[in-house]
Amino acid sequence: MNTRAPAIEARQLIKTYGGQVTALNGIDLVVERGSVFGLLGPNGAGKSTTVKILTTLARPDSGSATVAGHDVLRHPDRVRRAIGVVAQGSGADPVATGRENLRLQGRLYGLKGAALDRRVDELLDRFTLTEAARRPVKGYSGGMRRRLDVALGLVHRPEVLFLDEPTTGLDPEARSAMWDEIGRLAADEGLTILLTTHYLEEADRLAERVAVVDRGRIVVEGTPDALKGELRGDAVHVELREPLGDAGRTLLTGVLRDVPGVHEVLADGHRVSVRADDGAAAVPALLAALERAGVKVATATVARPSLDDVYLRYAGRRYSDAEDLVGAR
């Protein structure tokens, strides 16, 4: 194995289902060793399909991938021994205790005796599960189950850990606690972590680099700060009282682009979003231009660039709209 190779490398991954639904449309991905990399996108964007291929649970229609230096198609058994996987659904046996689940996982990877006992105790302590270790998992809270899932993925000390939507379904307090633990895990263990998430704040907080996925392709990649820094000035979001038709959107886009200091105008439905060199200074001129165009405004807000704005710029639609589209489907 080439230890200098990236922890994960994928080239032109394509995957369709039923010959009609394109889940991946040419994914290219490089994740360096010892880093936390985030695949960010709405549900249905292709993140989980990418993880399934990288963890040998699915085969691509075309393309190639290596994980921990092993080819996922030619040497899937080697890949499986080098990785830990925390899927969206819990993999723990609800009837067994937390300790029993960890011991079983360890035995599956060849651990036994005192070494297994030490590793189980270490993980129970790390994830604050020692007091609940002898209780059946079905009695655990959502946050406790998620911590146990991560512990199960770490029993055999993997080189690469896949976290597929690790905080979905958790309440805000449990989600924040899991974020803290993932951050400590990356710092203490030196693991390579591939995180998939549809939470913008989660990617911003945890990932050193982010790839934004939309409709089965990566539309932009970089550090969260660099991606946000590419967006000059401020984001100004205007909510309209009435929706715009196609003709209205075209007309309004042209009108607003003539406002000094305004660029990257997007009008859609009830909302208009622009980038402005100075958002606060631009708002009066924007509102005046909208009034002259006969457009009634409900609210206007100014904010510094966020990953939501990055998604809007590169995917051409708002993150919330993409989530709503998947939900409707």
**Cβ atoms of 106 and 141 closer than 8 Å:** no
46 and 94 co-located in one domain: yes
d(C-alpha 310, C-alpha 227), whole Å:
7
219 and 73 co-located in one domain: yes
**Cβ atoms of 285 and 259 closer than 8 Å:** yes
Within-domain flag for 309: no
Query: Looking at residue 322, what is its pLDDT?
Result: 64
Q: Are strands 36-40 and 192-197 parallel, antiparallel or unpaired?
A: parallel
Query: Looking at residue 189, what is its pLDDT?
Result: 77
Query: Looking at residue 323, what is its pLDDT?
Result: 61
Q: Which CATH number fits the domain that encloses residue 79? A: 3.40.50.300
Within-domain flag for 329: no
186 and 254 co-located in one domain: no
187 and 75 co-located in one domain: yes
Q: Is the pLDDT of residue 320 over 80?
A: no
Q: Which CATH number fits the domain that encloses residue 272? A: 3.30.70.2470
Q: Is the pLDDT of residue 160 over 90?
A: yes
The mean pLDDT value for 109-128 works out to 96
Query: Looking at residue 63, what is its pLDDT?
Result: 97
**Cβ atoms of 158 and 177 closer than 8 Å:** no
Query: Looking at residue 329, what is its pLDDT?
Result: 43
Contacts for 281 with CB less than 8 Å, ≥ 6 apart: 261
266 and 291 co-located in one domain: yes
**Cβ atoms of 163 and 193 closer than 8 Å:** yes
Domain count, the chain: 2
Is residue 190 classed as helix, strand or coil in its secondary structure? coil
Q: What are phi and psi of 36, to 5 degrees?
A: -110, 115
pLDDT tens-digit series, residues 204-216: 999 999 999 999 9
Of the segments 153-157, 262-266, 303-307, which one has the largest average pLDDT value?
Answer: 153-157
Q: Is the pLDDT of residue 82 over 90?
A: yes
Note the pTM of the prediction, 2 decimals.
0.82
174 and 243 co-located in one domain: no
